[in-house]
Amino acid sequence: MAHNLTQKILAAHSTGPLPAAGEPIALRMDQALTQDATGTMAWLQFEALGVPRVKTDLAVSYVDHNTLQMGFRNPDDHRFLRTAAARFGAVFSPAGTGICHQLHLENFAKPGATLIGSDSHTPTAGGIGSFAMGAGGLSVALAMAGQPYVIPMPKVVRVTLTGSLQGWASAKDIILHLLGLLSVKGGVGKVFEYAGPGVATLTVPERATITNMGAELGATTSLFPSDEQARQFLAAQGRAGDWQALAADEGAAYDEEVTIDLNALQPLAAAPHMPDNVVTVASLAGLGVDQVAIGSCTNSSYADLAQAAAVMQGGQVAARVDASVNPGSKQVLAMLAQDGGLVTLLQSGMRVLECACGACIGMGASPVSQGVSVRTFNRNFEGRSGTKDANVYLVSPLTAAQVARQGQFTDPAGWGTPPAKVSLPATPPSIRHLFHFPSQEGSGVEITRGPNIVALEMFAPLGQTVEAKVVITLGDNITTDHIMPAGAEITALRSNLPAISEHVFGRVDAGFVARARAAGVGVIVAGENYGQGSSREHAALAPRHLGVRVVLAKSLARIHRANLVNFGIIPFTFVYAADYAKVAEGAMVKVNAQALVPGGEMLVEVQGAGQIAVKNDLSPDEWAVIRAGGFLNHVKTML
């Protein structure tokens, strides 16, 4: 029987036969990664499991988010992560070494391997043929402890690429086109598998841009085959032994198919405030720009920045524009220094910032009030930049550099001849010596904690009946940025649950925390695609700390739904979408937990509306987790 690439990798890692789409599949994880914004909590959770050593083939603890050292909190977390990695057998990547996804692609990702990461853009490694998924920190901790990671068996979408990119069109425009076609919820429960003659024209960094931003589709992951392009990339990185040929079988079946003619693509932009609000760059001609930011895990490769430098050659940043670049790794920065691109960027007036996430998560480089910011990033949610009233546009590095020079959007038809595509040097400078590799024995390592690292909270099991008050009602496409804002001050509190919980919905509804505390037990009501965006488990963990036990939405994003389960929150959806309007803030809701059947429907009592039909897609195991008060309680008992 012919198999697609997804089926091949999952079959090799499944604890049983491949199920039908939507049914649970338990997967063995080969690799795991964490980053500091989510990793401190993940390593605290791993420690609480009582497992002496990481059981995945590889685990890497990256520091790339909270690198701004304002006070003791972030440095203390970094010290904790370094000592925990040495104790439990993980590789440690210090602050400034680079962005986790760029570093993992360069140094560790393998074709055919499974990878789980506490960051929603972990699918970046799909550009090299890894089956890579973002997840909440507790899910990653459990995988590192040797537990299988359970997901619904995804549908597989074949994306056939024909032709080749022309003119100023780039890999970023491929994924922007797909987002405009399918929307930010068009990939929920699906894997996007790229095929067709156009695939061979794309380098691994270009493929990684596409798989990275596939997260904005809500996809489980995205995959490219491991072919000659992958072999050349790994060989250049000194990892030729990690390569293996991987592709779908001829005649393999797919659940859906999409075809993209690369010849027809033109430069695109995602307009405020969603990645699927896609328009042509030409249609924005004349719009003045205040800021340009080039970087992020989507577009910070050597190829990206070298092309941006080529556009800036002989010119400079327009007077009205503040422009910055975040290289994705110290390897990227070293290559730019060697080929002269770094000098070009500096002489053009661009600021070259640390090899870190930076502006993408509102960690510095925020735009001016009501400013127009053009970024090569993956998300343009309202307020994510650190400036609530800014208007953020997402574009490719080629487009960003053009905008920086001209101070405004212009029609690409007038840009002239684009720079040539850039490939890796035959022997890129290695930075592997900058990683801290663990010794064979770590039991004697003392884990060091600062005062901002607060002990884990253990939640009570679920009772037979849940009586709770609706503490907030929300619309569609509420992101984890809405629930738990990012930025320097708040992300520094990720290891302090009581402190960070004071900021839940802080930029949406300033009264939420007080209402939740007063209610004691709370219900969140939301529209479509609730919890889309980053994997930050604090968007579930902090509401749980405040007493939220039920989320009732029209639909839920995959990672956030899993995080709700992990912390003992029941994820319900409406059977009838019209009932959403019947549930008012302040209404009491009564759930008979004894009557809940995993995967079934039931009626709940809603004050002022009578009985409302709700459903769940829980497995029996997930329902056991919720009844236990969360996965940590459940698995500690099992282990």
Residue 32: which of 136, 188, 151, 156 has the closest Cα?
136
Which DSSP state fits 445?
P
Of 162 and 507, which is predicted with more confidence?
Answer: 162
**Residue 42 pLDDT > 90:** yes
In whole numbers, what is the pLDDT of the chain averaged over residues? 94
Tokens of residue 240, six digits: 């030729």
Least confident of 78-92, 159-173, 252-266, 484-498: 484-498
Tokens of residue 17, six digits: 């036969």
**In the predicted model, what is the mean pLDDT of residues 263-283?**
97
Name all contacts of 423-428 with Cβ < 8 Å and 24+ positions apart. 423/203, 423/303, 424/233, 424/236, 424/237, 424/302, 424/303, 424/335, 425/236, 425/335, 425/338, 425/339, 426/236, 427/236, 428/236, 428/237, 428/302, 428/331, 428/334, 428/335
Per-residue model confidence (pLDDT) at position 639: 58
Question: For the domain bounded by 465-638, which CATH number is listed?
Answer: 3.20.19.10
pLDDT digits (tens, 9 = 90+) for 458-496: 899 999 999 999 999 999 999 998 999 877 778 878 888
What proportions of the chain, in percent to the nearest 5, are helix, strand and coil?
Answer: 35, 20, 45
**Residue 635 pLDDT > 80:** no
Per-residue model confidence (pLDDT) at position 491: 80
Band of pLDDT at residue 454, cut at 50, 70 and 90 = confident
Residue 397 contacts residue 294 (beta carbons within 8 Å)? yes
* Centroid of chain to Cα 63: 15
Band of pLDDT at residue 66, cut at 50, 70 and 90 = confident
Q: Could you give the residue ranges of the DSSP H alpha helices within 14-99?
A: 36-49, 73-88
Nearest-angstrom CA–CA distance, 66 and 492: 7
Residue 204: which of 223, 230, 239 has the closest Cα?
230
**In the predicted model, what is the mean pLDDT of residues 367-395?**
92
Residue 437 contacts residue 518 (beta carbons within 8 Å)? no
pLDDT digits (tens, 9 = 90+) for 166-210: 999 999 999 999 999 999 999 999 999 999 999 999 999 999 999
**What single-letter amino acid sits at 552?**
L
Residue 481 contacts residue 383 (beta carbons within 8 Å)? yes
Tokens of residue 252, six digits: 């393999």
Per-residue model confidence (pLDDT) at position 366: 87
Band of pLDDT at residue 447, cut at 50, 70 and 90 = very high
Helix-then-strand count for the chain, H and E? 20, 25
Per-residue model confidence (pLDDT) at position 638: 65
CATH label, 268-411, candidates 3.40.50.2030, 3.30.499.10, 2.60.40.10, 3.40.50.1100 = 3.30.499.10
- For the chain, the C-alpha Rg in angstroms (whole number) is 23
Per-residue model confidence (pLDDT) at position 338: 94
Band of pLDDT at residue 637, cut at 50, 70 and 90 = low
**pTM summary value:** 0.90
Q: Sheet with 322-325: list strands edge to edge.
A: 278-280, 268-270, 391-394, 372-375, 291-294, 322-325, 351-352
**Residue 538 pLDDT > 80:** yes
Band of pLDDT at residue 533, cut at 50, 70 and 90 = confident
% of the chain residues with pLDDT over 90: 84
Per-residue model confidence (pLDDT) at position 455: 82
Of 444 and 266, which is predicted with more confidence?
Answer: 266
**In the predicted model, what is the mean pLDDT of residues 79-87?**
96
What are the residue ranges of CATH 3.30.499.10 in the chain?
5-264, 268-411
**DSSP sequence for 499-552:** HHGGGTTTTT-TTHHHHHHHHSSEEEEE-TTBTBS---THHHHHHHHTTEEEEE
Q: Could you give the residue ranges of the DSSP H alpha helices within 349-496?
A: 397-406, 480-483, 488-491
Domain 5-264: homologous superfamily in CATH: Aconitase, domain 3 (3.30.499.10)
Band of pLDDT at residue 631, cut at 50, 70 and 90 = confident
Per-residue model confidence (pLDDT) at position 592: 96
**Residue 386 pLDDT > 90:** no
**Residue 545 pLDDT > 70:** yes
Q: Which residues, 6+ apart, have CB-to-CB distance to 167 below 8 Å?
A: 266, 412, 418
**Residue 87 pLDDT > 70:** yes
